[in-house]
Structure 1
């Protein structure tokens, strides 16, 4: 029996030197699960297949995750947080608000239309009724986390007098929804192909203009 399984049985914590190895093992399992879930869907994926994809035993998976739903929730949380962090790699003191919002919008929309993101959203919607915790994890780690990060930026820009926003969190979600337009919904329902970079730029440009018309400094000529 592996050391991890022995520890699980006796409730012992891993030694400090083993923590990095354990963390990597957990990530390996999540990576294997991602490949299987994206290929087979949630219902079609089996723990045996995930174990093979991750090159571990099924018993090892259960050391780290209580169930398939728990593993899927961990995958969702890891992917959404990583995407949210990439989205908000910017200089919050940038004085060109329109350019800053445009870059955020293009990064956001480009991420939202990725085929693997569309597949993940479809899977989450499919399992959320049966496993509400998975839907909550997706919503908190993705849209809510990203919205709060953007709200912090809007708050800072308002303090600097570059925006005039009364409810920064509400405004953050309004901007992200403007950037979504109809492109993401079309892809979700299989009604359209991948938009061109030009279409993304045009949609985000409109979103920025509408947003600044509502929340730009009241004495600014827009």
Structure 2
């Protein structure tokens, strides 16, 4: 029985696998991740099974295990890769852009719009629910998303401090302050399903206030 289970979990690569093009492998992997997303969203980590995921992805269990050797590996890939892509695109900041207020306003607006997306809130809930049992899930998710975003914003703030556009400060903490000023309880509200996602007017108001308060604390002395 153990041998049979091992064969099911660790099948040999399918015949002709070496002939699969990189683009084909990438497409199949995305197909599996999309199926996994549907199942994890509906059932959570504990309630999902590899059989259900294979069915949702329209692949065989053998093919599924070629790409991911466990449910844990699939869950981690799904949550961290999505977060990494968002962080890299969202925090693509031009360190030479001198209009700090405009840069922070654009970032804050995009950041809140992303944070308020129902699928993003659901992923956070899933990770929180799973990381007590699997702490590495939370660590990987944090490093791929929040830590990456803070690091990129810090680099931008460092450049502005060097140029004299912001006061000298702990820029790592300043980056965290700005992001927290933007969302200021919004994510908590959404995680607990205690209200609707913000509309454009609320997002604009939140970001304008965040920029105002940020400059009151970190702007050059003449701007305070």
CA spacing shift, 1:135–1:165, aligned 2, 3 Å: same
2-structure distance, mates of 1:103, 1:188: 24
Q: What are the ranges of 5 or more consecutive residues in structure 2 without an aligned counterpart? A: 1-9
Q: What are the ranges of 5 or more consecutive residues in structure 1 without an aligned counterpart? A: none
Pick from 130, 133, 136 the counterpart of residue 130 of structure 1: 133
1:39-98 CA-to-partner distances (Å, cap 9, x unmatched) read 222222221121112121112222222211210100111110111122124433222111
Match of 1:155 in 2: 158
Matches within 5 A, 1:4-83: 6-7=12-13, 14=18, 18-83=21-86
C-alpha displacement at 1:177, in angstroms? Answer: 1.0
1-structure distance, mates of 2:81, 2:168: 31
- Taking structure 2 as the reference length, the TM-score comes to 0.88
1-structure distance, mates of 2:156, 2:180: 17
- Taking structure 1 as the reference length, the TM-score comes to 0.88
C-alpha displacement at 1:215, in angstroms? Answer: 1.0
Pick from 100, 105, 109 the counterpart of residue 103 of structure 2: 100
CA spacing shift, 1:14–1:92, aligned 2, 3 Å: farther
1:10-41 CA-to-partner distances (Å, cap 9, x unmatched) read xxx957x7333223222221121112212222
Q: How many residues align?
A: 214
2-structure distance, mates of 1:67, 1:6: 15
RMSD: 2.1
Match of 1:86 in 2: 89
CA spacing shift, 1:221–1:166, aligned 2, 3 Å: closer
C-alpha displacement at 1:117, in angstroms? Answer: 0.8
Pick from 117, 121, 125 the counterpart of residue 120 of structure 2: 117
